[in-house]
Every structure is written in C-alpha cells, then in structure tokens.
A and B are shown apart, each in its own frame.
Chain A
Amino acid sequence: MSSEAAAEHAVHVHQAPTNPIWRYVFSTDHKVIGIQYWILALVSAFVGMGLSVWFRLHLLNQGHVAQLTDQLSLLVEGSADYNAIKAKIDALQTAWYHMEPSQYLGILTMHGTILVFMVLTTAPMGGFGNYFLPIQVGALDMAFPRLNMLSFWLTFLSFVTLMAAFFVPGGSPNAGWTGYPPLSAVPDSQGNGYQGPGGWGQDLWVLSIAIFCFASLVGAINFIVTTLDLRTKGMTLMRMPLTCWAWFVTAILALLSFAVLLVAGLLLLLDRNLGTSFYVPGDLFVSNKLLVDHKGGSPLLFQHLFWFFGHPEVYIAIVPGMGLASHLLSSFARKPVFGYRAMVYAIFGIGVLGFFVWGHHMFQSGMSPYVAVAFSVMTMVVGVPSAIKTFNWLGTIWGGNIRFQSPMLYALGFVSLFVTGGIGGIFLGQNAVDIYFHDTYFVVGHFHMIMGVAAIFGMFAGTVYWFPKVTGKMMNEPLSQAHFWCTFLGVNVIFIVMHLMGLEGHPRRYSGFAFEFLSSDYMVRMHTIVTHTAIFTASAQVLFLINLVYSLAAGKKAGDNPWESTSLEWATTSPPPFENFKDGVLPEVHHGPYEYSVPDAAKDYIMQHDPPEARPATAPAPH
C-alpha cells in the first residue's frame, strides 16, 4: 500500500459519523469513549460512596446498641429502666439504615467491588487515558478504535452484571471484595441459620469480574500499541509526558495481571457450578452436614491467584495518579519535573516489583512462613521507588513559582495523601508487625488512604485540569477549591482515625460489636468521628456535582491553553476536533514535555510542538 493510500484511508476512517448513535453511543472515537468511561466511573463512585455512608450509619448505631446492651445485662428483666433501655435498643435496631448481618456483608462486598473495579480501574485508564493518551502522543485515535468501543461496552456489561447482583434472590454476594473460598465457592457454606437462598449474587459477581477481565485485556492491548506505535514525529519515548508513561505501565500491569484474575474467577465459577474442587478441600462440615461432592482442593490457591492480580491492581489504581501528579506539579510550579528519568524508572520499578509482592496479603494465611520472609523483603524494596517518587515531587516544587489553581491543589493533596497512606505500608509490609495489624481497621485505613482517596484525588485533579479541554469551559474555581478543602480534611480525619482503631485491634468486616473491647467508650467515640466525618465528606461531593453541572452550563469560556501547559493536548482547540488536531494534521514534537522557565526563552514555557528555535541555544541541555 502506498503512503498516499494510507493517508487517504486515514482521513476516510476519521470522518465523524453523522448518526448520533454511532457518534455518541456506540462510538469508536477515543474521546467519546473516554467520556463514557468517566461517566460510568462517576456514577459508580456515587453508588459506592452511598453504600459506605449507609454502613457507616449502621456501624455507629451498632456501637450504641452494644453499649446499651452492656447496661441492659445489669438490670433486672422487666424493671422500668430495663424496659426503657430495651425500647431504645429496639428503636435503633429498626432504624431505616439498620442492616442484617449478611446484608451488611453484601453491601460491604459491593462497595469494595464497585470502587475497585468500576472506579479505580476505569476512570484513570479508561477515562482520562482514553481521552488524552492519543492526543498527548499526537495520534488521530487509539490503535484499534473498534476494540476500544468493545472494551467500554464490555465494561458497561460488567457493571450491569454487578448491579444485577443487588436484585437477585438472596441479594448481593457477601464474601468480601476478595471473595475468598470456601465461603464464595460453596453455596451451602453461608452458615447455619442463614436466611435466604443465596448463591446467585456470587455467580453474578464472578461473571462480572470475568467480563471486566476481557474488557481490561482489550483496553490494555490498545493502550500499549498506541503508546509505542502511534507517537507523532519527534515524540520519542523520553519526550512523552509522565502521564503517558503512567498509562503505558498501567496497561502492561493490566495486560499481565487480569489474565490471572480471569483464571481465579473461572476456577471459582467451575467450583461453584460444575463440581470441580480447585479451592474446596474435602470433608467440609457446612450447614450441619458433611460436604461430599468436593475433595482435595486448597483455599490458598485462590488467594495466590487473586493477589497475583490484586497487588498489581493497587498500582493500576494509583500509577496514573502518580503520572498526573508529576505532570501537574511541574506545570503549576512552572518548573521541569525533578529527575524525569528517575520518575520513569521508578514507575517501571513499581510495575515490575509489584508482581513479586503479592504474598504480603497472605502473611497470616497459612502460607509457608519461609515464603513470607521473601515476600516481606520484596515489599520493602517496592517501597523504594515510591519513596523516590515522593522525593522527586518535593524536588519538582522546590525552587518553583507555584500557582495555586485547583488542579494544583488536588495534585498537592495527592502527594500528601500518598505520603500518609504509604507510611502505613511500612507497618503492614513487615511480616512481624503484620501479625498485629492484619485484617484490622489499620489495613482498611491504609488502603483507603493510598489506593482509594489518593487515586481519587488524582481523578479530581484530572477532571479540573482537563475539563476546559474536554468542554471548552472552565470549572468554577471557588467551588473547586471549597470542594478540595472539605474533601481533603474529611478523608484525612476518616482514615487516620481508622489507623488509630487498628492500633486498638479493631477487626475488619464486623457488622456489630459483640466484643467488650469493641463497645468501649474509645471505640464508639472513634466510630462516631468516622461516621460523622464520612457524612460530611460525602455531602461535600455535592459541591463537585454542582460544579460540573454549573460549569458545563455557564462556565467561563476556556482558551486553547488556559493553564499554559506544554503537552500536545493544549496544542489543539478546546474541545478538540473529531480528528484531534486541526484538519487531522499531526503536530511535530521538538521539545521535552516539561520545558518551563527555560533560561533566556521568550516565554515562561515552551510547548512540545513549538519550533526548535523556541528553545534558546544558551539554555542548559534538556535532561
């Protein structure tokens, strides 16, 4: 094929379809798909957050119930005091937000699954990555636009399947987002006295995750090929913005880790429905009888397969945030990224090492204790590239001229949360200290801090930073800032208090407090703080919604480059045309991605596609 024909073909492919269904619904345009992913993640985030507020209310309630029950045990049955307290307990137990224990576990499981898969995995990659990777590397679209569409609609199917689990008989699955067998593998294993048929929800859960694996696989292939094959002229690997590096590494992680989750889910599905015994040992005594149709399997096999995926998954959630934080710190401090190459190597280091630390989730699981030592040491090693990144972020703003616009606030918030959350990992990564902290609220606080809210701050940052590019309008700055402060304060209180509860040994996934040490005044006080702050923080998210709607309708008009950034998305119009760049002519890249405050340059910043002369010969060589 001659190059002329190729060019003609390219233009032909990149004409916008006129039918709105092909243009905006089943679109192959990476920008539309990016927005679709982003909306899916936003909806999921609000569903997941709503569930968490619900069970926080329930838990606060249970703290009071436990304390009242303690009082009750001292009183004579039938006395006036007794009846008064009894009435109080009954009132609490029938509150609208009260949950039955298995319902609590179901809501908990759905909260975790929705947020991990539908928010933390989709938004940074599928949302922002889809929209901006092709533009930032200077391409017309992703390498495989139709596969890209397939990837989104598979994700959507996975989302619908997961939501369906709420409504099937028996309700949502209640084995936790980790779905450990035998609880998840043996439908009869719900325990004596379990109310409800059960089973369906768990099957839908596995099915949803399996579909999600396919979607991620297709997406990952697309991202990797786009990054390596479709870069525009001059966009060498070492001139890519760190966001692109982050998406690239994330895609590699997704490519290799979801393949294993698929197998973990497949075997679970077979164990549940076709009588295999990969995860189910023989002689289980469940529902008051011996289980005779399984024998020989090992529950630990699932844990190995699951966490082989699960740990890289943590990085899938956080690495795009790291890339974006680097990008924004540089852009708003008007300074080159400190140690660009070190940042690239650190991202790769995290990605590679991330595959060798899964065992730290299993220190107390009954896995060989020798292996635990190796995993523990590897875990501490993976902390090193994370520390490098933190130092380099501080180095990036050091000597800068920081503009405190809302994207920068979220990026700085990300750094702060990343430090706080990362530090919990130094406790949990040590097998000896983990003996105390394993499966306590310390773990809950830690992973929410780092892969939960830190990653979500990355998404907030991405939203305010790129909103003008996507819509052509600026987001409202005071509203963004108010939202930032409320959320930043709120999440810090919630999750640091959870660390403190972990110090007291509070177990995870308890729907009530039958223990003396859990109904102590200290614990109930801590639960009260967490629940109240959670309600406050969740309410503050309304500011974000209002901001989105208001800005979309009446936002200030944005120029092509409102933040004076250098990467290629700012070289095109806001919003970009269908073919990304004017007339489909790709820009040519002559500069690194972070050429801010170059000595002797005419401007404060040199955009990547500025002509070579824009960079004075007297300036020091780029990295």
Chain B
Amino acid sequence: MTPVIFVLVILGLVVGTVAGFALKAPLLPDLITEHGRIIDQQLVLTLYITGAIFAIAQLGLAYLIYKHRHRDGVKASYLQGSTKLEYTWTVATLVLFVGLNLMGQGVWAQMHLNEKPARPVNIEVTAMQFKWIFRYPGKDGNLGARAAEYINPAEGNYVGKDPDDANGDDDFQLLSMSVPYGIPVVVDIRSIDVLHGFAVREMRLKQDAVPGLSVNIPFTVEKDGTLEFPLSGNYAADLDKGELPDALKHELNANKLVWKDKASLRALEPGRVWRLTLDPDSINRPYLVKLENGRLNLYRSWYELACMELCGYGHYQMRSQVNVLSPVEYAEFVEKNSP
C-alpha cells in the first residue's frame, strides 16, 4: 500500500507543480525592455530544462519505489555501482549546467560589462528611507555635482545637489521616474542611508542601492505600453475631442481600472493614439489608447518600482513608479519640469 501512495503523491507533486507553472498566465509580468527579452528567453529555457529534469527525477524515483517495493522471496541485487554510468552523468550534468550558464552571460555583459551607450538619457536614482528620488539633468543633459555636505532636508535637497554648480541649475527632481521609449537610458543608482534595492518587474532590472557606491545600469525601454485590455466601444471621435465618454468610464470601471479624482486626455496622434492619464493630480497613472486594426486597445504605460533590500520598517511601502513616455512627450516633460 505504502509504495502505491508514494507513487500517487509523487505523481500529484509532478502534475501539480508542472501545471502550476504551465497554467500561470502570464508566466511572467509584462516585459518592456530590450535586454529583458534575453533574460526571459534564458529563464524560460531554464524552466524547460529544469522542468524536464524535475519530472524525470521525481517520476524515476516513483518508478523505482514501485518496481522495487518489498516482496517476499525477492532478493535485492548486489550492485555496488557502475563507473561508466557515473562518469557519463557527471560529464553530462557538468556540460549542461555550465553550458546553460554561459548562454546567459551575453545579457549580463550587455547590462554590466559593455561600454555604456553614447548620449543616453541620464537619470540619477537616490534611495532613502523610505522613498525614491529621481533627478533629471534638465535641458542641458548634464547633472549638477552632488556632495553630502549640501544635503538640506528643509529645502528637500536630499540628493545633496551643489547649489553653485551651473550644470545643476536646470536639474529637477521628482518622486516618480519617467523614461522615454526607444532611447537608451542610464540610471545611476545610489543610496544615502542604508541598503535599498531598485527593482522594476516589467523592466527585468534589479540592482542594490549601496551607500558610498554608485552603480550605472543602461537599459532601453522598447515598448510604449503593455496591453491592458481591448475597449469594446468606438470612442475615437470623443477621444479626439478630449472628452472621456461615460460609457468608457463604465468600461474602465468594469475592468477594475478605477480612479478617484479625474482623468486627463490628449491626442498624441489624433485619430490613432491618445494619452489617458488617471488621477493626474495625485497618483498620475498614464495609459495609452490606441486604434489598431480598427479596434481600440488600452495600454498601460506605468509600472511599479519596488525596494528589494531590507531597509527598515518601511521597506514594504517603499514604492514608486516608472512612467513610459514617447520621446516627444519626454522632451515636453523635461521642458515642463526644468526650472
């Protein structure tokens, strides 16, 4: 009886686990960066390989448990090993494991080892308990110098911006991050108190923010948004006028997309692409509405930024967000915010 139960439990374990991974839809959160595609490929490849190893090993165990269960009169074989078999699986696992690992080194090099892209958008990310501060270089493209001695909480200058550096005159800082798509961005990740971790799921980006250290990570966002859901009605005409029809509001609400204050709407490409921003005054969640193949689709273009390294009691609420803008919008964004 026991071997049968064991076989059934292992079968359940294998089926359950494989199903848990296979049925999880989507397997991973939306993907918006270029390098993220390679990470996902590597991850999915690893998932296939390890899934196979998992199933074979567990089912093999179940098979052996059943086949060689105790039966009266049966004597176990006096098998002490097989050098040939052992060499085979040693070499095979070595090649498989190391080979798999080396396949992932390209994307690591792209993120960490290769030369940083020329003329990127530079954004300085400062982590502190329990918020993120993003400093943008303004129109001149250069960030002003910084030093701890200039830190001044009264003026909100946590970054330590040098007031005498002319480069910093048009710098501006915000509590959320806006990046253009299609243009290389380099974030300079740092912390002014304890360890923090910069992480955006959809960007497949993670880097600890370490006090005393500044880590530059390049990335390129390759999508202006990720599909949230298709809109059923045809609201194109209303959207062009800058009005949010009630029917659309209801439809958004029905899809659990809700907001409190108000929404702002403008046409990025009249008749084709509109920017819909929910709660522009407080939370500021930008979406896109696009007319594609005769249908309207709603795209999300904001993503949550989490802290991944234990940083104190407020660790769990150290939240910010990344907004993806078109290059034109980004230029406007810089223009609007530069002092």
Contacts and interface: CB of A to CB of B under 8 A. Distances in A.
Interface in A213-249: none
A516 interface: yes
A183 B195 contact: yes
A22 interface: no
B74 A623 contact: no
A189 B81 contact: no
A479 to B, nearest CB: 15
Interface of A: 73-74, 100-102, 105, 174-176, 180, 182-183, 186, 189-194, 281-286, 288, 290, 297-300, 333-342, 364-366, 369-370, 372-373, 376-377, 379-381, 383-384, 387-388, 390-392, 394-395, 397-404, 409, 412, 415-416, 419-420, 423, 426-427, 429-433, 435-436, 438-440, 481, 485, 488-489, 492, 496-497, 500, 503-505, 507-517, 596-599, 604, 619-620, 622-623
A284 B317 contact: no
B79 A399 contact: yes
B327 interface: no
A432 B206 contact: no
B78 A191 contact: no
B145 interface: no
A71 to B, nearest CB: 9
A369 B313 contact: no
23 contacts: A105-B315, A176-B310, A194-B313, A283-B192, A286-B194, A297-B212, A333-B68, A336-B78, A373-B108, A392-B81, A400-B68, A401-B68, A402-B70, A403-B70, A404-B2, A416-B10, A419-B61, A426-B100, A430-B101, A431-B108, A436-B43, A517-B29, A517-B201
B186 to A, nearest CB: 15
Interface stretch (B46-54, B167-175, B244-252, B329-337): B46-54
Nearest to B25: A522
B240 interface: no
B310 A183 contact: yes
B316 interface: yes
B17 to A, nearest CB: 5
B166 interface: no
Contact of B151 (A285, A341, A366): A285
Contacts of A372: 108, 112
A415 B130 CA distance: 43
A438 B21 contact: no
A190 B313 contact: yes
Nearest to B112: A369
Given A333-B76, A439-B206, A285 B306 contact: no
A26 B37 CA distance: 62
Contacts of B105: 373, 376, 431-432
B237 interface: no
A503 B313 contact: no
A619 B50 contact: no
Contacts of A74: 258, 260
Contact of A340 (B20, B80, B199): B80
A194 B313 CA distance: 8
Given A387-B89, A397-B68, A496-B16, A489 B75 contact: no
Given A369-B112, A399-B79, A496-B16, A101 B314 contact: yes
B81 A191 contact: no
Contacts of B210: 299-300, 365-366
Contacts of A297: 212
A427 B46 contact: yes
User: Which bracket fits the contact residues of B?
Assistant: 35 or more
Contacts of B29: 504-505, 517
A433 B46 contact: yes
Specify which of B10, B60, B314 lies most central, judged by the most chain A CB atoms within 10 Å of its CB.
B314
Contact of B304 (A100, A489, A517): A517
Given A101-B314, A399-B77, A436-B201, 19 more contacts: A73-B258, A174-B312, A191-B311, A282-B212, A364-B206, A388-B89, A391-B86, A392-B86, A395-B85, A398-B64, A399-B79, A404-B6, A412-B61, A420-B17, A432-B42, A433-B43, A500-B20, A511-B316, A515-B319
A365 B112 CA distance: 12
Chain B CB within 10 A, most for which of A189, A409, A513, A623: A189
Contacts of B108: 369, 372-373, 431-432
Given A191-B129, A369-B108, A384-B94, A426 B151 contact: no
B24 to A, nearest CB: 6
9 nearest A-B residue pairs (beta carbon): A281-B212, A283-B148, A432-B104, A369-B112, A339-B81, A102-B313, A399-B77, A505-B201, A510-B316
Contacts of A334: 75-76
Residue of A192, A429, A623 with most chain B CB atoms under a 10 A cut-off: A192
Given A509-B315, A512-B317, A285 B80 contact: no
A183 B13 CA distance: 40
B280 to A, nearest CB: 16
Interface in B4-43: 5-6, 9-10, 13, 16-17, 20-21, 24, 27-29, 38-39, 42-43
A376 B61 CA distance: 29
Nearest to B215: A366
Contacts of B129: 189, 191-192, 286
A285 B101 contact: no
Contacts of A416: 10, 13, 58, 61
Interface string B197-213: 10101001111101111
A442 B31 CA distance: 19
Nearest to B209: A366
B78 A380 contact: no
Q: Which of B9, B49, B60, B65 has the most chain A CB within a 10 Å cutoff?
A: B65
Interface string B248-271: 000000000010100000000000
B98 interface: yes
Interface string B222-234: 0000000000000
Given A399-B77, A404-B70, A507 B60 contact: no
A205 B195 CA distance: 20
A404 B93 contact: no
B54 A599 contact: no
B277 to A, nearest CB: 16
Contacts of B90: 384, 387-388
A182 B191 CA distance: 11
A97 to B, nearest CB: 17
Contacts of A401: 68, 70-71, 74-76
Which of A190, A192, A426 is packed against the most chain B CB atoms within 10 Å? A426
Contacts of A604: 75
B98 A381 contact: yes
A194 to B, nearest CB: 6
B79 A509 contact: no
Contact of B54 (A391, A419, A488, A505): A419
B141 interface: no
A435 B205 contact: yes
Contacts of A398: 64, 68, 79
Nearest to A594: B80
Contact of A377 (B27, B28, B101): B101
Contacts of B128: 285
Contacts of B241: none
Contact of A388 (B71, B79, B83, B86): B86
Contacts of A438: 197, 206, 308
Contact of B57 (A288, A369, A390, A512): A390
A400 B312 contact: no
B276 to A, nearest CB: 17
A427 B97 CA distance: 10
A501 to B, nearest CB: 10
A489 B39 contact: no
Contact of A515 (B16, B306, B312): B306
Given A180-B309, A497-B20, A503-B27, A488 B314 contact: no
A336 B212 contact: no
A426 B204 contact: no
A496 B20 CA distance: 9
